[in-house]
Chains A and B, each alone.
Chain A
Amino acid sequence: AQSVSQHNHHVILSEAASLELGCNYSYGGTVNLFWYVQYPGQHLQLLLKYFSGDPLVKGIKGFEAEFIKSKFSFNLRKPSVQWSDTAEYFCAVKPRSGTYKYIFGTGTRLKVLA
């Protein structure tokens, strides 16, 4: 079955620390990849997406992600986090064919200490 794994469930960082959140998926075909952020009490918002081309994707608020096809990974990074980055982060995968469904990971809760 198709699945998305986010191995870090809770991450605590100090401001200015670097961030990397892991995302691995299991699907052999072509996929579109997404990272969403959910600030406390709010809905999911798109951070960045990858469809094709340059595997290093830049998103909003200084976030970037790298698609490594051989590792089925799409890790999210930010060089220097801020207190306002405290949120839950979801990785999602959308197979290009065979399904209309988006597959979400279970999320990573990030807390940034001021």
Chain B
Amino acid sequence: NAGVTQTPKFRVLKTGQSMTLLCAQDMNHEYMYWYRQDPGMGLRLIHYSVGEGTTAKGEVPDGYNVSRLKKQNFLLGLESAAPSQTSVYFCASSLGTSGVTYNEQFFGPGTRLTVL
């Protein structure tokens, strides 16, 4: 049981290049999330998904796109990278609704992205 995995772990891009970050979870979780973490700003939600084939915007969606074609995978795409997208990106998943309670999020190890 690997939990939440992310690839790649590190990446350096030039301005204008594109890339896709992959998040995979093997816990059969319904909900998946992409965050970016910047110093002093905590975690900011980029996009999230509450099920296969569904996605929704978070706080900071501009410049990013996502897809959830399979329940276990959640992809984050940068079509034209900008230096402002230099950050550490974390994927998280959670079980989803369970009556009136929600389970905690499980986080991946992160991807450190630098855009030059």
Contacts and interface: CB of A to CB of B under 8 A. Distances in A.
Contacts, number: 51
Contacts of B104: 34, 46, 49
Contacts of A51: 101-102
A43 B42 contact: no
Interface in B17-39: 31, 33
A105 B42 contact: yes
A32 interface: yes
A52 B99 CA distance: 13
A92 B106 CA distance: 13
A36 B101 CA distance: 18
A92 B58 CA distance: 16
Interface in A91-108: 92, 94, 96, 100-102, 104-107
Contacts of B107: 36, 43-45
Q: Majority SS of interface residues in chain A?
A: loop
B109 to A, nearest CB: 5
Interface residues of B, number: 24
Contacts of B100: 30, 96
A52 to B, nearest CB: 8
B74 interface: no
A13 B106 CA distance: 29
B108 A43 contact: yes
A106 to B, nearest CB: 4
Contacts of B58: 101
Contact of A101 (B41, B48, B101, B110): B48
Contacts of B102: 32, 51, 94, 96
Interface of B: 31, 33, 40-43, 45, 48, 50, 56, 58, 90, 92, 94, 100-102, 104-110
Interface of A: 9, 30, 32, 34, 36, 42-46, 49, 51-52, 90, 92, 94, 96, 100-102, 104-107
Given A102-B94, A106-B40, 16 more contacts: A30-B100, A32-B101, A43-B108, A43-B110, A44-B105, A46-B105, A51-B101, A92-B105, A94-B102, A96-B102, A100-B50, A100-B56, A101-B45, A102-B33, A104-B42, A106-B42
